[in-house]
């Protein structure tokens, strides 16, 4: 296989591994969802077992966009040191941390590594050159090791110094995809290039405008698209429905009609929720009732798919060969409006048991699957939100292209 980590002769050598440890933390800086760290463990373990000297690079949040009042970086809040306990625990081995990313001291630290050691360097985004994709900064990062492995799928859509530009300093014998990256790409490929049919896409989230390219790409590839979440109401209004105070993107009504027409021409269907849970306010303790989605009363807003829609959507999923799910069916962070998303999560898990291949991509639907306790009941959960979205839209990810070129 091209760019296969197993083809690199890494024993005794310094290997830079770009991971995506941009993970959620609680108020005491403890990791609350370690999925991305877990995802990187097979690559790190493999390198440790091979006797490589592992140098981990990652970004964490956007520190340069949240500077302290004195204009300095908040090194307490944004240090990657926060992930070390979780990482060491999952790896079953002490990981060393160094509070900088480039420079002489870092180089000395790197030179002191023994075979099988793992060192995590500080947040790459403490340097402006990271997000700018600066070639000099990338070169300084590249000087840390003899090999470059990209396992940061979650950041593969960023053309940043450590995710993409750095790779120009390594020839094909010295760079590769990590195992997480490889598995993300293989799973997306299975859905996009060789789906078992019927292929049903479930799309949710607040806005149509975020999903236009995805819908267009899926109209070509999927057999049916099921819509939920706030974006449904732009379609319903476009069809002449009464949507009350529901979120509607007025400037996307024509686009919604075009997408429905395009689907018709291609002989595909875009399913909209026949009913909705409408609320009198956008609040967790709002009053709510189940109403037809085309007849949402004045002053009320659709915040979840309704009881009939859940039943109908679950029926559509039965017998699917492939399911791709991106985006929640309602405001699932509010208990009252989480049940549509949970019902779909359950339906996806149920059909997966009967042989359907199910890929869950996109941050919120992934969170919903975890909350429902069904993470082990679907075929593949992506660690990338934006990255998976762009991949499914048919884009080439800079982090991927850089390894292959």
| Per-residue binder mask for ligand 3PG (CB under 6 A), 357-396, x = binder | ----------------------------xx----------
Only segment of 85-93, 153-161, 170-178, 262-270 that touches ligand 3PG (CB under 6 A): 153-161
x/- track of binding to ligand 3PG for residues 51-90 (CB under 6 A): -----------x----------------------------
Least distance between ligand 3PG and beta carbon 398 (Å): 12
Phi, psi of 12 (to 5 degrees): 80, 0
The reply to whether 150 sits near ligand 3PG by the rule CB under 6 A is: no
Tell me which of 45, 207, 268, 281 is the catalytic residue: 207
Q: Establish if 195 lies at the interface with ligand 3PG (CB under 6 A).
A: no
Give the Cα separation of 92 and 49 in Å (integer).
12
Q: Which stretch binds ligand 3PG (CB under 6 A): 87-95, 154-162, 172-180, 371-379?
A: 154-162
Residue 142, H or E segment: helix 135-142
User: Tokens representing 274?
Assistant: 């026949």
Given the rule CB under 6 A, which of 10-18, 151-159, 324-332, 388-396 is the region that contacts ligand 3PG? 151-159
Q: Which stretch binds ligand 3PG (CB under 6 A): 150-158, 182-190, 222-230, 335-343?
A: 150-158
Tell me which of 51, 116, 321, 386 is the catalytic residue: 386
Taking CB atoms within 8 Å and a gap of at least 24, the contacts of 116-119 are 116/48, 116/49, 116/51, 116/52, 116/53, 117/53, 117/54, 118/44, 118/48, 118/54, 118/56, 118/91, 118/93, 119/53, 119/54, 119/55, 119/56, 119/95
Is 36 annotated in the active site? Answer: yes
Among 8, 10, 14, 22, binds ligand 3PG (CB under 6 A): 22
d(CA 203, CA 253): 18
Using CB under 6 A as the binding rule, whether residue 275 contacts ligand 3PG is answered as no
Judge contact between 288 and 336, C-beta under 8 A: yes
Catalytic residue among 39, 205, 330, 363: 363
The answer to the question of residue 20 lying near ligand 3PG (CB under 6 A) is yes
**Judged by CB under 6 A, how many residues of this single chain contact ligand 3PG?**
8
Q: In which order are the strands placed within the sheet that holds 275-279?
A: 288-292, 275-279, 301-305
Is residue 205 part of the contact set for ligand 3PG (CB under 6 A)?
no
What are the C-alpha distances in Å from 209 to residues 256, 272, 277, 360, 387?
10, 17, 23, 20, 17
Nearest to 232 by CA among 155, 328, 151, 157: 328
Q: Is the peptide bond before 213 cis (omega within 30 degrees of 0)?
A: no
Provide CB contacts within 8 A for 78, sequence distance 6+: 60, 61, 63, 66, 123, 125, 126
Number of H helices, E strands in the chain: 15, 15
Given 50, 158, 182, 224, the residue binding ligand 3PG (CB under 6 A): 158
Query: Could you confirm whether 363 is annotated as catalytic?
Result: yes
Min. distance of Cβ 56 from ligand 3PG in angstroms? 14
Residue nearest ligand 3PG (C-beta atom)? 22
Which position among 14, 18, 36, 53 bears the catalytic label? 36
- Would you tell me how many other CB atoms lie within 10 Å of the CB of residue 282? 13
Residue 155 near ligand 3PG by CB under 6 A? yes
Residues marked as catalytic: 36, 207, 363, 386
Which residues of the shown chain bind ligand 3PG in the complex (CB under 6 A)? 20, 22, 62, 154-155, 158, 385-386
């Amino acid at each position: 296989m091209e760019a296969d980590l197993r083809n690199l002769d890494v024993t005794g050598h310094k290997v830079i591994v770009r991971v995506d440890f941009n993970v959620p933390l609680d108020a005491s800086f403890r990791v609350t969802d370690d999925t991305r760290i877990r995802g990187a463990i097979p690559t790190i373990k493999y390198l440790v077992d091979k006797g490589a000297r592992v140098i981990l690079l990652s970004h964490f949040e956007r520190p340069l966009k949240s500077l302290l009042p004195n204009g300095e970086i908040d090194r307490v809040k944004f240090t990657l040191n926060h992930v070390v306990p979780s990482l060491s625990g999952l790896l079953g081995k002490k990981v060393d941390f160094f509070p900088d990313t480039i420079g002489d001291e870092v180089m000395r630290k790197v030179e002191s590594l023994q075979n099988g050691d793992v060192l995590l360097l500080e947040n790459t985004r403490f340097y402006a050159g990271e997000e700018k994709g600066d070639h000099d900064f990338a070169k300084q990062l590249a000087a840390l090791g003899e090999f470059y492995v990209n396992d940061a799928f979650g950041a593969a859509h960023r053309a940043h110094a450590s995710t993409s530009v750095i790779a120009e300093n390594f020839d094909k014998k010295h760079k590769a995809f990590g195992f997480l990256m490889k598995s993300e790409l293989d799973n997306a490929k299975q859905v996009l290039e060789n789906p078992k049919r019927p292929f049903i896409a479930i799309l949710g989230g607040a806005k149509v405008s975020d999903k236009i390219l995805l819908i267009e790409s899926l109209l070509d590839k999927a057999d049916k698209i099921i819509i939920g979440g706030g974006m449904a109401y732009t379609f319903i209004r476009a069809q002449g429905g009464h949507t009350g105070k529901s979120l509607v993107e007025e400037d996307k009504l024509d686009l919604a009609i075009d997408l429905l027409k395009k689907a018709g021409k291609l002989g595909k269907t875009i399913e909209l929720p026949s009913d909705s849970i409408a609320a009198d306010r956008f609040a967790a303790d709002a009053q709510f009732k189940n109403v037809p989605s085309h007849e949402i009363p004045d002053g009320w807003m659709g915040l979840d798919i309704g009881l009939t829609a859940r039943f109908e959507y679950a029926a559509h999923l039965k017998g699917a060969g492939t399911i791709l799910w991106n985006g929640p069916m309602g405001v699932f962070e509010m208990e009252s409006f989480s049940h549509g998303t949970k019902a779909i999560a359950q339906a996806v898990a149920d059909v997966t048991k009967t042989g359907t291949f199910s890929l869950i991509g996109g941050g919120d639907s992934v969170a919903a699957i975890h909350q429902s306790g069904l993470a082990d009941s679907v075929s593949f959960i992506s660690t990338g939100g934006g990255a998976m979205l762009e991949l499914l839209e048919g884009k080439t990810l800079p982090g991927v292209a850089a390894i292959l070129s």
